[in-house]
Amino acid sequence: MHQINKLVYYFAILLIILSINFFLPRVMPGDPLSYLSDPGADMPARMTEEKRELLLEYYGLDKPISEQYISYMVGIIHGDLGWSIYYGAPVLEVILGRLKWTLLLVGTSTAIHVPLGILLGATSAWARGKKKDTGLLISILSISSFPSFFLGILLVIFFGIKLDLFPINGAQTAFATYSSPFGKIFDILHHLVLPATTLVISHIGGTYLLMRNSMLGVLGEDYIMTARAKGLSEQYILHRHALMNALLPIVTMTAMTVGFLIMGTIFVETVFAYPGIGNLLYNAVLYRDYPLLQGIFLFITIAIVGANFIADTIYVRLDPRVKNE
């Protein structure tokens, strides 16, 4: 009974979110053909009213809104996300083409900043009050507080231009051919270093602080005093008791932020010309590309709901005190 209730609950939430995803873009003034008159630094086509009507008809934008809503919902059930008006390609194709780069960037930087943040936070908490702690606290917080795009630009100027060690844009060298598959992998890694570093520096502050606080809380617990009394070594206490227990909030936080990170990378994507989802979403909003917007919102919804679910599951595994009803 409980399970069915939960399912109905999730289904209702999904329906509401999908409906909001449909109506929200249409609330904005302008329409998917507005970009055609955009005063860019080039020449836009002068569209006659007659041609505009023809295009609206072609894209189904002249139908009543209820009809558009129904075909949108039906489309999702069939897995058909529609055709992007601006990019002139199936929405799914456009999104997937960009998604892989975002996942690579977000995945790499998360895989680095989380363990690093944990280590540093634990070290700080363990050495609380001493110079090491204060030093770490001040330095990590100050560099992490810089806006990500500012950090990105600094890295571009210093490592990309002045020292010429890393490429400053793109995810890979365009049209290059390699003598072995490793060549391509290394090229991608080469392009990944600067943007990933930027993200790591930006996000490590949060993880570090949370770990430090969580650790401090744990270290004040009675069972730590018990462990010491038992005569266990400091290292053992740190790793086996303190660290593991302090990890719990990090798990939830990481799972939650991964869902949001997909959009949060937009600044880094812009600075490094990294072709990810953040940039795509920004453009889709600017161009009022309704089908594309709906598709991206769907992916984000799935990502966040999925992250939520994973966080729940992992938390239960890690903390036997939480019973699953």
Partner 1 sequence: MKKTVLILAVLLCSVAFSASVLAENDRVAATSDKTVRMAGGTPGGSDWGYPSPFTFYPRGPGYARMSLLFDTLTWKDANGVIPALADGWKVSDDGKDWTFYLDRNARWHDGTSFTADDVKFTFEYMKDHKGGFKWFDATSYIDSVDVVDAHTVVIHLSDPVASFLVDIAGNVPMLPEHIWKDVSDPLTFKDDDAVIGTGPMKLVDYDSATGVYQYEANHDYYDGKLLVDKFISREVSDTASALQTGDVDEVSFWGSEITAVQTFESDPDFEIKAGPSFWVLQTIFNCEKYPNNDREFRQAIAYGIDRDKIVSQVLHDGGEPANTGIMHPDSIWYNPDCTAYEYDTDTADEILDSLGFVDTDGNGIRNYPDGAERSGDITFDLYTTGKYNREAELIQADLATIGIKINVKTSDWGTIDGYLRSANFDMVISGHGGIANPQIMRIPDWPASTYQNSEYDSTYAAQEVEMDLDTRKELVNQLQEMVADDLPVYTLYHPYMWCVYDPEVLDTWFYTRDGVSIGIPLELNKLVFLARYGDANENGKINMQDVTKIERMILELDDETDMADANQNGKINMQDVTHVELTILGRAPIRTR
The two tokens of residue 162 are 């002045």
By CB under 8 A, residue 94 contacts partner 1: yes
By CB under 8 A, residue 216 contacts partner 1: no
Burial per residue of 147-171, b for 16 or more beta-carbon CB atoms within 10 angstroms, e otherwise: ebbebbbebbeebbeeeeebbbeeb
- Among 281, 288, 292, 307, the residue binding partner 1 under the rule CB under 8 A is 288
User: Shortest approach of partner 1 to residue 176 CB, angstroms?
Assistant: 5
User: Shortest approach of partner 1 to residue 320 CB, angstroms?
Assistant: 27
Pick the closer one to partner 1 by CB: 284 or 311.
284
Nearest Cα to Cα of residue 109 among 67, 148, 82, 83 = 148
By CB under 8 A, residue 214 contacts partner 1: no
C-alpha to C-alpha distance for 101 and 122, rounded to whole angstroms: 31
Count other Cβ atoms within 10 Å, centred on residue 101.
23
Residues 135-174 that bind partner 1 (CB under 8 A): 156, 161, 164-166, 168-171, 173-174
What amino acid is encoded at 200 in this protein?
V
- Among 1, 4, 5, 40, the residue binding partner 1 under the rule CB under 8 A is 40
Long-range contacts at 34-37 (CB < 8 A, ≥ 24 apart):
34/287, 34/288, 35/86, 35/286, 35/287, 35/288
By CB under 8 A, residue 250 contacts partner 1: no
- Among 27, 43, 77, 163, the residue binding partner 1 under the rule CB under 8 A is 43
CA angle 101, 15, 25 (to 5 degrees): 60
Q: Are 242 and 218 in contact (CB under 8 A)?
A: yes
Question: Per-residue x/- marks for partner 1, 178-207, CB under 8 A?
Answer: xxx-xx--xx-xx--x--------------
C-alpha to C-alpha distance for 78 and 80, rounded to whole angstroms: 5
By CB under 8 A, residue 71 contacts partner 1: no
Identify the DSSP state of 173.
-
Residues 220-249 that bind partner 1 (CB under 8 A): 238
- Among 1, 4, 27, 41, the residue binding partner 1 under the rule CB under 8 A is 41
- Among 74, 89, 111, 244, the residue binding partner 1 under the rule CB under 8 A is 89
User: Shortest approach of partner 1 to residue 9 CB, angstroms?
Assistant: 36
Residues 113-132 that bind partner 1 (CB under 8 A): 115-116, 119-120, 122-123, 126
C-alpha to C-alpha distance for 296 and 225, rounded to whole angstroms: 50
By CB under 8 A, residue 63 contacts partner 1: no
Contacts of 142 (CB under 8 A, 6+ apart): none
Pick the closer one to partner 1 by CB: 140 or 255.
140
Pick the closer one to partner 1 by CB: 75 or 97.
97
